[in-house]
Amino acid sequence: MNKVFLIIAFTLLSSCQNFNSNSADESRFSESPIPASGSNDPNDPAYQSYVKLVKSYNIIKTRCFQCHSQWQNLNSNQKWIDSGLVFKNNPESSSLINRLKNFDPPGDMPSGANSAIPNDDYLTLVDWIESMP
């Protein structure tokens, strides 16, 4: 029995672990900070705009926040416009779009060896900016 206690006691050591594959999961995958829309009616333009904003925000979070974590607070259409990254109803002039490698002519984002974002995601972003109320 003493040996068993010794074995168990021997395995006691304690300290904090500060990094592994999951350490950044909260900042990368937590729920969108976008305030809920007042309406749930799919025919309501305000709700439609809200859905497009949420979808686009999540795309940008997945594809861009690794390097552009400062955009996390842009949780409304107006904040995106005020940031200068988006021109309302004008995706071609929006640097959020024309800096992408998907754009024609291709931009340089995502940077370095990262490939262009999936085309579906790109079209979602374009549609969001084009249809901003």
Partner 1 sequence: MAIKFITTLFIILISIAPVVAKDDIVFNQVKDFQKKLKQEYSQELNNLRSQIKNDETIDPDSYTEKFKKINFKIYSLIAKILIKEKRLLSPEHKTRKLFSTYRERLSQLEYQELKVEKIFDLINNHFKNIEDKQYSGHWRLFIDYISWQYGAVLNKPTGSSDLVITNKGICPGVNYARENKFLSFSVDACLLQTSGGVSSIDPTVTYTQSNISATGIKSSISIGYFASASKTEIGFKIPLMLISQDLEDPPAVGYKVKEGTNLIPMAGVYSRWPIGNYFFQTEFSKYLEEDQTQWALGLGYKF
Partner 2 sequence: MKITLFFLVILFSISSKLSLAYPNYIGHGYTSCLNCHYNPFGNGPLNDYGRAVSATLISARWAYPKTWTEEDLAEKSGTLFRKPKQDWFRTQFNYRRFRLTRNPGSAKNETELWLTMQADARAIIKFGENDKFTSVVNYGYAPAPLSQVSGVSNKDSWRSREHYIGYKINPKVGVYAGLMDKVYGVRLVEHIAFSRSLPQVTMNDQAHGIAVHYLNDKWEGGINGFLGNLSQEENLRMKGGSTMVERTIGDIHRIGASYMSSRNKFYSLQSYSMHTRLNLKDGASIIAEIGEVQKDIESTQSTIKSRYGLLQTYLRPARGFYVLNNIEYAKADTSDENYIVRWGPAIQIFPAQRIELRGDIYNTRVFGPETSVPDNWTLLLQTHLWL
Distance between start and end Cα atoms, the chain = 74
Whether omega for the bond prior to residue 118 falls within 30 degrees of 0, making it cis, is no
When asked if residue 2 is in the footprint of partner 2 (CB under 8 A), the reply is no
When asked if residue 115 is in the footprint of partner 1 (CB under 8 A), the reply is no
Q: Are 74 and 96 in contact (CB under 8 A)?
A: no
Using CB under 8 A, pick the residue from 14, 35, 42, 105 that binds partner 2: 14
Write the interaction track for partner 1 spanning residues 47-86; mark x where CB under 8 A is met and - where it is not. ----------------------------------------
* H helix runs in the chain, sequence order: 2-10, 25-29, 45-64, 77-82, 95-98, 119-130
Q: What angle do CA 110, 116, 119 make, to 5 degrees?
A: 130
Using CB under 8 A, pick the residue from 76, 116, 127, 130 that binds partner 2: 116
By CB under 8 A, the residues from 91 to 110 that bind partner 2 are 101, 106
Closest CA to 120 of 99, 93, 95, 102: 102
Q: Give the one entry of partner 1, partner 2, none that residue 43 binds, where binding means its C-beta sits below a cut-off of 5 to 8 angstroms depending on kind.
A: none
When asked if residue 133 is in the footprint of partner 1 (CB under 8 A), the reply is no
Q: Are 42 and 48 in contact (CB under 8 A)?
A: yes
When asked if residue 108 is in the footprint of partner 1 (CB under 8 A), the reply is yes
Stretch in the footprint of partner 2 (CB under 8 A) among 13-21, 45-53, 87-95, 124-132: 13-21
Using CB under 8 A, pick the residue from 5, 18, 31, 105 that binds partner 1: 105
